[in-house]
Amino acid sequence: MGSMLQYGSLAKYYDMIYSFKDYEKESRIIATLANRYKKSTGNELLDVGCGTGKHIVYLKKWFACTGIDKSEYMLRVARRQVDGVRFVRGDMARFEMRKKFDVIVSLFSVIGYTETHQNLALALNNLSRHLKSGGVLIIEPWFTKAAWKSGSVHMHTYETNDVKIARVGFSGTDGSVSVLDEHYLIAEKGKGIKHFRDVQRLGLFGRAETLALMRAAGLRAMYAKRSLAPGRGLYIGVKERDLDPA
């Protein structure tokens, strides 16, 4: 695994770095799709890889939300940001909750962190296991191998009077895994300047590969062109049969 600093010591800057994202609009799209496809009658929602809880800020208007994430640093920010929601620590491929949900979402590429085909299968099985019969799973994917622009470079900046952030990155590939090598320079008024290097590895899974694994996990699965981020699409799965009744 990469250093994943972004979800460690960089967690407190996460919402600044991604301040360009319209979480409210994304949440409205997700709620509409969830209600369109869901056959179960409840409104319990689990956000897997919830990060700092920015979708839950909005989703909690319509659903009884729980957030789960691997990073305690991200969860700390989420707990400060959102009142009255349970945020728990767990790995998407392995977590165990004594509860099933009507809606499970995993947004902004979290699924890519499974890295390997085998781990992706484990995660999809685990998510399906936590869905009620008729419940819906919505996944916003990472890039496919065909769409990944290996060798490309990128830069992103954020600034207020008190904070200046510059992130410069190189997009590499290691077999079927994308490797994001990112360097951050963060200057804070009255404090000084810090430099971090963050290397992240995300699996480049195919569309047919993901849909086949969703189906094997007991889901009626489809790929929808409707996107949160341009061109990425969404996977939607409806739980057909309970492979592991509680």
Ligand X SMILES: C[S@@+](CC[C@H](N)C(=O)[O-])C[C@H]1O[C@@H](n2cnc3c(N)ncnc32)[C@H](O)[C@@H]1O
Q: Does residue 109 touch ligand X according to CB under 6 A? A: yes
Per-residue contact track with ligand X, 36 to 55, x per CB under 6 A? -------------xxx--xx
Q: How far is the CB of 101 from ligand X (least distance, A)?
A: 15
Instruction: Please give the Cα distance from 240 to 184 (Å, whole number).
Output: 44
Measure Cα distances from 88 to 7, 46, 69, 210 in Å.
15, 10, 7, 26
Q: Does residue 108 touch ligand X according to CB under 6 A? A: yes
Q: How far is the CB of 91 from ligand X (least distance, A)?
A: 4
Q: How far is the CB of 157 from ligand X (least distance, A)?
A: 18
Q: Does residue 167 touch ligand X according to CB under 6 A? A: no
With b for 16 or more beta-carbon neighbours within 10 A and e for fewer, the 1-38 pattern comes to ebbbbbbeebbebbbebeeeeebeebbeebbebbeebb
User: CB within 8 A of 122, min separation 6: which ones?
Assistant: 93, 94, 114
How does DSSP classify residue 241? S
Number of residues in contact with ligand X, rule: CB under 6 A? 17
Find the binder of ligand X among 60, 70, 129, 201 (CB under 6 A). Answer: 70
Cβ 40 vs Cβ 137: under 8 Å: no
Find the binder of ligand X among 87, 101, 113, 205 (CB under 6 A). Answer: 113
Instruction: Please give the Cα distance from 68 to 49 (Å, whole number).
Output: 6
Q: Does residue 92 touch ligand X according to CB under 6 A? A: yes
Find the binder of ligand X among 10, 74, 104, 219 (CB under 6 A). Answer: 74
Stretch of 27-35, 109-117, 162-170, 217-225 lying at the interface with ligand X (CB under 6 A): 109-117
Which H or E element spans position 46?
A: strand 44-48
List residues binding ligand X (CB under 6 A). 7, 49-51, 54-55, 69-71, 74, 91-92, 107-110, 113
